[in-house]
Structure 1
Amino acid sequence: MAKYLLLKHYRGAPAAVNDVRMDQWTPEEVSAHVQYMHDFAAKLEESGEFVDGQALSDQGMWVRYDGEGRPPVTDGPFAETKDLIAGWMVIDVDSEQRAVELAGELSAAPGSGGQPIHEWLEVRPFLTEAPMITE
């Protein structure tokens, strides 16, 4: 088994998918999208492939080390950004092929008019060992 991160990006301003901005979806369309995500997670819980997942707020901040113990904080990222991380799911599957298969299924979540949004998902394996430096 190997763990993979399925990272949901909403591209566009704000969160445009399927050529329709999410802030223009009807409440029913938003509910259907969220229900799809819950149903997908429940299916993976039954198969033992679900580890965790979470939606993220469109509000946040940037923080970095400043060398003096007072990390600077700036506003952002904002929903109007070109590429907003909207959420993530961690899965534990037998192969990379299975991770890609599940990401493809998750990409079919409904959006405007109930049509699949065909969103791009970033699929990344967890690092299982520390990188080795050879001389």
Structure 2
Amino acid sequence: MAKYLLLKHYRGAPAAVNDVPMDQWTPQEVSAHIQYMNDFAARLEKTGEFVDAQALAPEGRFVRYDGEGRPPVVDGPFAETKDLIAGWMVIDVDSEERAFELAGELSAAPGAGGEPIHEWLEVRPFLTEMPTVTE
């Protein structure tokens, strides 16, 4: 088994087949989209492939160490940006192919008009060991 992160991006501009920005969806369309993802997670819980999932608020801040002990905090990411990380799901599956299969299925979550949005999901394996440097 290997863990993968399915990273869901919110795009403020169309980037998929049926990609109407979510702020233009009806409340029923938003509810149907969330229900699809919840049902998907529940099915993976039964197979033992679900680890965790969270939706993220569009508000956020950037923080970094400044070398002086007090980290600067700046605004961002901004809701006006074209691409925000909207949420993620962690799965634990037998193969990369299975991770791709599940990501493809999750990308079919309904959007405006109840049609699948066919959104792009970022699929990232968890680092299982530190990379080695060879010279």
Return the TM-score normalized by structure 1.
0.95
Q: 1:26 to 1:62 in 2, by over 3 A?
A: same
Q: Mark the runs of 5 or more structure 2 residues left unpaired by the alignment.
A: none
Instruction: Give 1:93's aligned amino acid.
Output: V
1:99 corresponds to 2:99: yes
1:66 corresponds to 2:66: yes
SS of alignment partner, residue 59 of structure 1: coil
Q: 1:104 to 1:28 in 2, by over 3 A?
A: same
1:76 corresponds to 2:76: yes
Q: Deviations over 1:67-117 (max 9, x none)?
A: 001111001101111210000000000000000000000000000000001
Once residues 126 and 15 of structure 2 are traced to their aligned partners in structure 1, the CA distance between those partners, rounded to angstroms, is 28
Return the TM-score normalized by structure 2.
0.95
Instruction: Give 2:34's aligned amino acid.
Output: V
**Residue identity (%):** 83
Q: Mark the runs of 5 or more structure 1 residues left unpaired by the alignment.
A: none
Give the 4+ runs in structure 1 shifted more than 6 A.
none
1:115 corresponds to 2:111: no
1:31 corresponds to 2:41: no
RMSD: 1.4
SS of alignment partner, residue 127 of structure 2: coil
Indicate conservation of the 8 Å contact 1:10/1:16, yes or no.
no
Matched pairs, number: 134
* Greater displacement, 39-48 / 17-26: 17-26
Q: Deviations over 1:32-87 (max 9, x none)?
A: 00000100000000000000010000000000110001111001101111210000
